[in-house]
A and B are shown apart, each in its own frame.
Chain A
């Protein structure tokens, strides 16, 4: 019921809370069901599901260190999840967060390590960090604007085009990181860039823990996306194009412009995921670090019902699972990949909410989310 504030112009806070709980019911039950099914799978392959889940929970939320690592994982998830969710709001399915993220990371890394040399000056930290992140989000936005423009002017469907651009981005970054941008350090044998300058790094929040200022930034950006979507004209236009393209056209909304802008904004958020990973965590871009973020982001956006706040909660949950999985594997020898199975089950139950409604006898009260429409949409 993320549209509650439209139907009732001045909802009281109780109504807002009730609407939020209502919207969270099906995702919550989907998670519960997926965890149960996942437990059955663990038992089938000879593991102890209770020990496995206990290890998972400990690893995810058992200590300050565990929380810190969960937030470290959650940071790119929030950005990438918001990217996919924003595109959904505009009626676009962005499967290309992966490529946009990789391009953002490459651009940020380049500005971080090479720009001072190219310009021949020392860039002060107060300028270097925004420049590095700015380059990343710009790269992501431009990379995503291409499929947006192809859809707006040539009718090429964004689902296929964004997937193709993932592979193109993967090939180009592989080429760059193995060739022109490779860390020339004689000890280095892997495909990665040199480290970025000190001035281009996001500081950590607490000494000794890896969680960095990228996480609060992600929360702030989630708030910003919410504001953009529900409190600005552009947001209204994006949602209108997403909900009913024909109505949007008759209302005089520049349909093509909104398509391209939505894709660019979506790519901007995905690029920010890459930029923040480079400036806050890895201090370089390494081949293969981003594999899988794009698809996780889709699951997160759907689990969060394409609402920015839902995306934040879903990201922390997914991050906790990814983070805790290592401890689970250490304690119980269940491979971390079980997490992918549970996550895809969550996605299955969220997408097919009819299954959950049938299992738990919930009456359909809310409207269906319109997400995509065939090849012509």
Chain B
């Protein structure tokens, strides 16, 4: 990540925030808008951040993973299913059910990643095809089970649209007992309160995992070996590193990160599952990873840009009738919704500098 990239990212985020402030400023105070934009940006960037970190681990070890989308979708479904089961069948406390759901989501991501690792490392299947198989498999399995278990005649939940037992609570709720109420906790200014204390556990975990991933990749022996395997597996093999093992473990770590990202959808964001609900987030994460030049901090910054463009869409909904007539196109959610996708394509053209993938990225290793 060079200064050009970071300043580009800063520019885009400031620009998107300015648009919302200019439009909504006449209705609500700018501080409230900025606070709301920041909160939404960080929240919706969560699956993108985790997906991009997932990609960083896989590709630093030399395995292209375009199956992140499918891993997230499957994790979202099985995490949600587990939370419901724990709550309704095993009568767990709602919060405990949700946490079991998060765990199940992480494991689901790991299992799908194991399949990807098996295909691409052991069977040396074309890795992009392998990832596509994962994506299609996830759509098929979640669609089938969703209908079979919940909507068919005589199915387990008898046609009632089920909901997860609530959502994970935000940090301010956790801290409430410590500072006597969710408001004005620790005497922090409103902006920080909104930005960080109103975030929920998966979002906060994503930020922490950015730091952890950076440390692991660049300051530990494991990270050094991972990068060696991704750049020059032959050389790594010669000095006694087990290339297959390093690749397997990193792909599974990546899958678990994507799985946690999947938990965001059904356990942290909304309490229900819809087929295809990940809606391309896994693919956008890959673009964030590429734009971030395969580094955790770069990927996070890029994920925040996509988060901000989505936050723009969400926040503009509140100010629809405040949009001036010459900007009428901003009234259409479908048009504003184009922003993250167009931004992704723009970024991939390399106008803001070329990025360099790990040298052995996407190549199966033959002993």
Residues of A within 8 A of B (CB): 45, 93, 95, 150, 154-157, 159-161, 163-168, 171-172, 174-175, 178-179, 291, 295, 298-299, 302, 333-335, 337-338, 340-345, 347-348, 351-352, 354-355, 370-377
Interface status of B136 (Cβ within 8 A of chain A): yes
Does B162 sit within 8 A of A, measured CB to CB?
no
B4-12, B125-133, B200-208, B231-239 - the one binding chain A: B125-133
Any A CB within 8 A of the CB of B286: yes
For the complex of A and B, list the 9 residue pairs with the smallest distance between their C-beta atoms, beginning with the closest: A374-B362, A340-B140, A337-B144, A156-B348, A175-B334, A154-B349, A344-B137, A335-B147, A341-B140
Q: Which of B103-155 contact A (CB under 8 A)?
A: 119, 123-130, 132-133, 135-137, 139-141, 143-144, 146-148, 151-154
Q: Are B133 and A348 in contact (CB under 8 A)?
A: yes
Chain A residues with CB below 8 A from B345, complex form: 150, 156, 160-161, 164-165
Minimum CB distance partner of B294 in chain A: A375
Known: A335-B147, A348-B133, A352-B119. A93 touches B139 (CB 8 A): no
A-binding residues in B (CB < 8 A): 64, 66, 119, 123-130, 132-133, 135-137, 139-141, 143-144, 146-148, 151-154, 276, 279-280, 283-284, 286-287, 290, 332, 334-335, 337-338, 341-342, 344-345, 348-351, 354, 357, 361-363
Chain B hits for A302, CB < 8 A = 129
Contacting residues, chain A, for B338 (C-beta < 8 A): 168, 171-172
Is A351 touching B66 in the complex (CB atoms < 8 A)? Answer: no
Contact, CB under 8 Å: A178 / B334: yes
**Given the complex, which residues of B lie within 8 Å of A175, measured CB to CB?**
332, 334-335
The SS class assigned to the B binding surface is helix
Determine the chain A residues whose CB is within 8 A of the CB of B344 once the complex forms. 160, 164
Please tell me if the beta carbons of A352 and B342 are within 8 angstroms of each other in the complex: no
| Distance in Å: Cβ of B55 to nearest Cβ of chain A | 11
The answer to whether B348 touches A161, judged by C-beta atoms less than 8 angstroms apart, is yes
B129 CB contact (under 8 Å) in A172, A335, A372: A372
* A335 partner residues in chain B, CB cutoff 8 A: 144, 147-148, 151-152
B125, B129, B361 pick with most chain A CB within 10 angstroms: B129
Dominant SS among interface residues on chain A: helix
Inter-chain CA distance A24–B126, complex, in Å, is 20
In the assembled complex, how far is the CB of residue B67 from the closest CB belonging to chain A, in whole angstroms? 12
A374 and B140 contact, CB distance less than 8 A? no
List residues of chain B with CB within 8 A of the CB of A355: 123
Chain B residues near A377: list those with CB within 8 A. Answer: 362
Q: Are A375 and B283 in contact (CB under 8 A)?
A: no
In angstroms, Cα B153 to Cα A278, docked, is 34
Q: Chain A residues near B128 (CB, 8 Å)?
A: 93, 159, 371-372, 374
**A154 contacts which chain B residues (CB < 8 A)?**
348-351
Q: A351-B130, A375-B290 are known contacts. Are A338 and B144 too (CB-CB below 8 A)?
A: yes
Given A163-B283, A295-B135, the answer on whether A168 and B143 have CB atoms closer than 8 Å is: no
Q: State how many angstroms separate the Cβ of A17 from the closest Cβ of chain B.
A: 28
Q: Which residue of B lies closest to A93 (CB)?
A: B128
Minimal Cβ-Cβ distance residue in A for B351: A154
Residue contact B357 to A374, C-beta cutoff 8 Å = yes
* Chain B hits for A174, CB < 8 A: 334
Q: Which of chain A's residues has its CB closest to B137's CB?
A: A344
Per a CB cutoff under 8 Å, which of B125, B148, B153, B354 touches A45?
B148
Chain B residues with Cβ below 8 Å from A299 are 136
Distance in angstroms between the alpha carbons of A299 and B66 in the assembled complex:
16
Q: Which residue of B lies closest to A340 (CB)?
A: B140
CA distance A354 to B364 in the complex (A): 14
Q: Which of A95, A165, A340, A354 contacts B123 (CB 8 A)?
A: A354
- Nearest-neighbour CB distance to chain B for A351, whole angstroms, equals 5
For A349, the closest partner residue in chain B by CB is: B133
User: In the complex, what's the smallest C-beta–C-beta distance from B159 to chain A, in angstroms?
Assistant: 13
| One of A95, A371, A374 near B363 (C-beta < 8 A) | A374
Sample 20 A-B pairs with CB under 8 A, ordered by A number: A154-B351, A155-B349, A156-B348, A157-B290, A160-B344, A163-B283, A164-B280, A171-B334, A171-B341, A298-B132, A334-B148, A335-B147, A335-B151, A343-B136, A348-B133, A351-B129, A352-B119, A354-B125, A374-B127, A374-B361
Closest residue on chain A to residue B139 by CB atoms = A340
CB distance from B109 to the nearest CB of A (A): 17
Most chain B CB within 10 A, of A93, A160, A172, A302, is at: A160
- Residues in B with CB closer than 8 Å to A159 are 66, 128
Question: Which A residue's beta carbon lies closest to that of B335?
Answer: A175
Residues of A within 8 A of B363 (CB): 374
- Assembly CA distance A125 to B87 (angstroms): 62
CA–CA, A340 to B143, complex, Å?
8
A45-B148, A164-B345, A167-B280 given; A337·B335 CB < 8 A: no
Bound Cα distance from A368 to B175, whole angstroms = 58
Could you tell me the distance between the alpha carbons of A370 and B348 in the complex, rounded to whole angstroms? Answer: 24
> Which residues on the B side are within 8 Å of A298 (C-beta)?
132, 136
A326 to chain B, nearest CB (A): 14
Contact indicator B125/A352 (Cβ below 8 Å): yes
Q: In chain A, what residue has the closest Cβ to B334?
A: A175
What residues on B are CB-neighbors of A178 within 8 Å? Answer: 334
A150/B348 contact (C-beta < 8 A), A171-B335, A344-B136, A371-B126 known: yes
Contacts of B126 in A (CB 8 A): 351, 370-372
Tell me whether A160 and B140 are in contact (CB under 8 A): no
Contact A160 to B144, CB < 8 A, known contacts A354-B123, A371-B126: no
Closest residue on chain B to residue A178 by CB atoms: B334
B348/A348 in contact, CB under 8 A: no
**A375, B361: Cα distance in complex, Å:** 8
Residues of A near B286 (CB, < 8 A) are 160
Closest to B360 in A: A374
Are the CB atoms of A374 and B136 closer together than 8 Å? no
